[in-house]
């Protein structure tokens, strides 16, 4: 059971901002019962569960919209005039649920909407700042309010905020205009988005513009930022930092830790005038210590209050925390001091009707439940930065997560043979992801890069610098989790905590030969024909972080043209029946489950994605095979089951 953040809210409000509907009084966008084309307001749930305030305004729904294929809209006056079409936010214009469904290239897109700031927000503070938050806008975004530029941000996967102070306050009406540029060429992190017109292989339909929730909240000029919550299992408590926008004499920060039923567990107060990030220690009484784990994902409630010199509450944040540790011993990755074999699945996070945005919050959670039903206990969240509510559900369900960034192969320039120019924006966006997600207990490791297969030479490259910068940034932001410099292929940072490789050999016997050298300090490593891609293995914990990808497509198996890889694709030869799939799956996983030197694996993949038909489930999440057999095949030999 998870804590209820509503306990930190004013008495007049009875619902948690994390789960309340958008028509609740503190979050009303329009009169209750608002629909978009006869459907409920899309994605109405609170988008930031780990840092919740009581007042907020959901800005999803109908916006004016216009495609600007030549990126000439600024010159043509789109900042100041009505737009020609409409779109349903937060779904990308390439998606069906956006109401646009245009999958051609768009150099830029424009959004426009008039909103009225709730008059009731005057009670929040004597001077109210209205913040408009964008969960993610792909790629380069600029925001205007009443014609005044209020924000700009580069990067398609991380959040940013526009402050409307001096332009609009409670009771005012304001026109928001957003331009998102997303060029076909140029160096940017795209994840799995295709740089060609059509999908191909592992490249999928592009996402342009707004694709996560847009929302507003009122705050005081002096307020708290997102709290930093560090679990300390050995000491039995939490170290909490409360970033402040400014310091004031006589002000203080109070933190209260609670059990899920609201029973107080610990409390601390600290002055708010001497440190930009006042630190508080919340020791848990021994009888109330309960660790977060896959078996028992226990979460404490956390309330933070900023108070002025007279004791009046100026800002209030509701959050939660899980007490757990991730450490390394020899080749083992330990959770709370105990080895837990990581049966991970590659989760691409696409939906046929909505692309990278989950159609509903329920379907976001359902992907975790589908993976658990198939016997996996965690995932690599592959080549995108997930919506934060996914991590909230993972926290509540005890689901292990490796968080990564969307920079496949550092191939960011467009042509697929250009693999040499990762940019400073990689590091910038990675730090934003770390700041957003570092307090989620479900995350047990960071992996900034994926399949960087550039040759390792005697000369330092930009990729070497970017790799080291991203590893260092992860360590500086969060010293509690291991860092894997790059998943598969090129390990370039000598300080990487984890080593791994990708291996899609389909024959279990040959697979066993390839990956069987770990005990002799010679693990399988991805190598080119004439190139070395990685520094020397130095005894780190090791796992095969991509394998399988078994091509099983029942429709293709029954079709005469079922081998057309443009329509159906997977690794190796397509199996001809589910029985062949189950035998191959059990054989491949069995090799890794029986190796005491490995701490886990990651199977490719959870669902089919467009033409890639190697999922445990179909793209629409309907059953594709007997998941009970998939689950049974992932049972470790009796000698190792204590680690599960």
Q: Which of 495, 487, 490 is nearest to 449 (CA)?
A: 487
Of the pLDDT bands very low, low, confident and very high (cuts 50, 70, 90), residue 18 is: very low
Give the predicted TM-score (pTM) of the model: 0.93
Q: What is the pLDDT of residue 564?
A: 67
Q: What is the pLDDT of residue 561?
A: 62
**Mean pLDDT, rounded, for 213-240:** 98
Strand order from edge to edge, sheet including 228-232: 228-232, 237-241, 279-283
131 contacts 170 by C-beta, under 8 angstroms: no
Residue 148 CB partners (closer than 8 Å, separation 6+): 167
Q: Is the predicted pLDDT of residue 23 greater than 90, yes or no? A: no
Q: What is the pLDDT of residue 11?
A: 27
489-518 as b/e: b if 16+ CB within 10 A: bbbbbeebbbbbbbbbbbebeebbeebeeb
Q: What mean pLDDT, rounded, does the chain reach?
A: 90
Of the pLDDT bands very low, low, confident and very high (cuts 50, 70, 90), residue 17 is: very low
Concatenate the DSSP letters of all residues of 373-438 into one string.
Answer: HTT--EEEETTS---HHHHHHHHHHT-EEEEE-S-GGG--SSSTT------HHHHHHHHHHHHHHT
Of the pLDDT bands very low, low, confident and very high (cuts 50, 70, 90), residue 411 is: low
Q: Is the predicted pLDDT of residue 171 greater than 80, yes or no? A: yes
Q: Which of 228-232, 525-529, 552-556 has the highest mean pLDDT?
A: 228-232
Q: Is the predicted pLDDT of residue 200 greater than 90, yes or no? A: no
Q: What is the pLDDT of residue 417?
A: 43
Q: What is the pLDDT of residue 581?
A: 97
Q: What is the pLDDT of residues 263-286, one digit of tens each?
A: 999 999 999 999 999 999 999 999
Q: Is the predicted pLDDT of residue 403 greater than 60, yes or no? A: yes
How far the first Cα of the chain sits from its last, in Å, is 22
Assign 221 to helix, strand or coil.
Answer: coil
Residue 230 CB partners (closer than 8 Å, separation 6+): 238, 239, 240, 241, 480
Lowest mean pLDDT among 8-12, 115-119, 332-336: 8-12
- Cα separation, 306 vs 542, in Å, equals 44
Lowest mean pLDDT among 147-161, 204-218, 415-429: 415-429
- Domains of the chain and CATH, by start: 5-219 (2.60.120.260), 228-321 (2.60.40.10), 334-403+433-643 (3.20.20.80)
Assign 344 to helix, strand or coil.
Answer: strand
Location of structure tokens 């009169």: 31
346 contacts 376 by C-beta, under 8 angstroms: no
Q: What is the pLDDT of residue 38?
A: 63
- Cα separation, 5 vs 13, in Å, equals 12
Q: Is the predicted pLDDT of residue 390 greater than 90, yes or no? A: yes
Q: Which of 287, 237, 241, 234 is nearest to 257 (CA)?
A: 237
C-alpha distance from residue 25 to each of 12, 57, 585 (Å): 10, 10, 51
Q: What is the pLDDT of residue 128?
A: 97
Q: What is the dihedral of CA 510, 512, 513, 516, to 10 degrees?
A: 160
Q: What is the pLDDT of residue 565?
A: 63
Q: What is the pLDDT of residue 164?
A: 98
Q: Is the predicted pLDDT of residue 32 greater than 50, yes or no? A: no
Q: What is the pLDDT of residues 333-345, one digit of tens each?
A: 999 999 999 999 9
Q: Which of 25-29, 35-39, 594-598 has the highest mean pLDDT?
A: 594-598
544 contacts 500 by C-beta, under 8 angstroms: yes
Instruction: Report how far Cα 43 is from the mean position of its chain's Cα atoms.
Output: 16
Of the pLDDT bands very low, low, confident and very high (cuts 50, 70, 90), residue 386 is: very high
Q: What is the pLDDT of residues 70-96, one digit of tens each?
A: 999 999 999 999 999 999 999 999 999
Q: Is the predicted pLDDT of residue 197 greater than 50, yes or no? A: yes
Write the burial class of residue 577 (CB in 10 Å: 0-12 exposed, 13-18 middle, 19+ buried): exposed
Q: What is the pLDDT of residues 117-137, one digit of tens each?
A: 999 999 999 999 999 999 999
């Amino acid at each position: 059971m998870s804590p209820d953040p509503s306990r930190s809210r004013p008495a007049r409000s009875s619902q948690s901002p994390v789960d309340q509907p958008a028509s609740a009084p503190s979050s009303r966008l329009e009169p209750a019962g608002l629909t978009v084309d006869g459907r409920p307001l899309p994605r109405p749930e609170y988008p930031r569960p780990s840092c919740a305030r009581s007042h907020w305004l959901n800005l999803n729904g109908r916006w004016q919209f216009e495609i600007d294929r030549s990126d000439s809209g600024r010159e043509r006056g789109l900042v100041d005039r009505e737009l020609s079409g409409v779109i349903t936010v937060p779904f990308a214009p390439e998606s069906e649920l956006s109401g646009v469904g245009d999958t051609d290239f768009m150099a830029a897109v424009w959004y426009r909407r008039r909103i009225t700031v709730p008059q009731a927000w005057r009670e929040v503070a004597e001077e109210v700042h209205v913040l408009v938050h964008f969960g993610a806008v792909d790629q380069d975004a600029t925001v205007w309010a009443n014609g005044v530029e209020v924000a700009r941000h580069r990067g398609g996967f991380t959040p940013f905020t526009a402050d409307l102070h001096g332009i609009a306050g409670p009771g005012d009406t304001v026109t928001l205009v957003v331009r998102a540029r997303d060029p076909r060429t140029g160096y940017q992190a795209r994840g799995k988005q295709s740089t060609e017109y059509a999908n191909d292989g592992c490249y999928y339909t592009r996402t342009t513009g707004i694709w996560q929730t847009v929302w507003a909240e009122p705050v005081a000029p002096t307020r708290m930022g997102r709290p930093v919550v560090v679990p300390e299992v050995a000491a039995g408590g939490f170290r909490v930092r409360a970033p402040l926008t400014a310091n004031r004499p006589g002000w203080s920060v109070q933190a209260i830790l609670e059990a899920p039923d609201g029973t107080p567990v610990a409390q601390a107060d600290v002055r708010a005038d001497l440190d930009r990030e006042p630190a508080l220690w919340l020791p848990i009484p021994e009888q109330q210590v309960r660790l977060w784990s896959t078996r028992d994902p226990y979460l404490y409630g956390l309330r933070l209050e900023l108070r002025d010199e007279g004791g009046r509450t100026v800002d209030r944040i509701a959050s939660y925390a899980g007490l757990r540790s991730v450490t390394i011993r020899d080749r083992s990755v330990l959770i709370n001091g105990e080895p837990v074999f990581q049966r991970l699945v590659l989760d691409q996070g696409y939906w046929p009707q909505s692309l990278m945005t989950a159609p509903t919050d329920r379907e976001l959670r359902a992907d975790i439940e589908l993976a658990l039903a198939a016997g996996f206990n965690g995932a690599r969240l592959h080549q995108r930065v997930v919506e934060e509510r996914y991590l909230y559900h993972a926290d509540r369900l005890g689901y292990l997560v490796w968080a990564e960034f969307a920079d496949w192969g550092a191939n960011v320039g467009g042509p697929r043979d250009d693999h040499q120019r990762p940019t400073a924006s990689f590091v910038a966006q990675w730090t934003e992801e770390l700041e957003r997600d570092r307090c989620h207990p479900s995350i047990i490791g960071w992996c900034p890069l994926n399949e960087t297969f550039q040759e390792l030479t005697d000369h330092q490259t930009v990729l070497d610098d970017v790799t080291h910068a991203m590893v260092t940034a992860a360590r500086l932001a969060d010293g509690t989790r291991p860092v894997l410099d790059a998943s598969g292929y090129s390990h370039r940072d000598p300080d990487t905590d984890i080593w791994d490789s990708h291996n899609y050999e389909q024959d279990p016997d040959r697979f066993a030969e390839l990956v069987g050298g770990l005990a002799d300090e010679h693990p399988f490593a991805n190598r080119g024909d004439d190139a070395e891609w990685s520094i020397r293995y130095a005894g780190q914990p090791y796992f095969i972080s991509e394998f399988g990808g078994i091509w099983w497509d029942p429709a293709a198996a029954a079709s005469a043209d079922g081998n057309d890889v443009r329509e159906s694709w997977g690794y190796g030869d397509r199996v001809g029946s589910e029985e062949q799939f189950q035998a191959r799956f059990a054989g491949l996983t069995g090799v890794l489950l029986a190796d005491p030197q490995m701490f886990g694996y990651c199977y490719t993949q959870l669902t089919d994605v467009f033409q890639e038909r190697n999922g445990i489930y179909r793209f629409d999440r309907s059953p594709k095979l007997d998941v009970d057999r998939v689950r049974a095949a992932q049972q470790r030999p009796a000698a190792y089951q204590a680690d599960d």
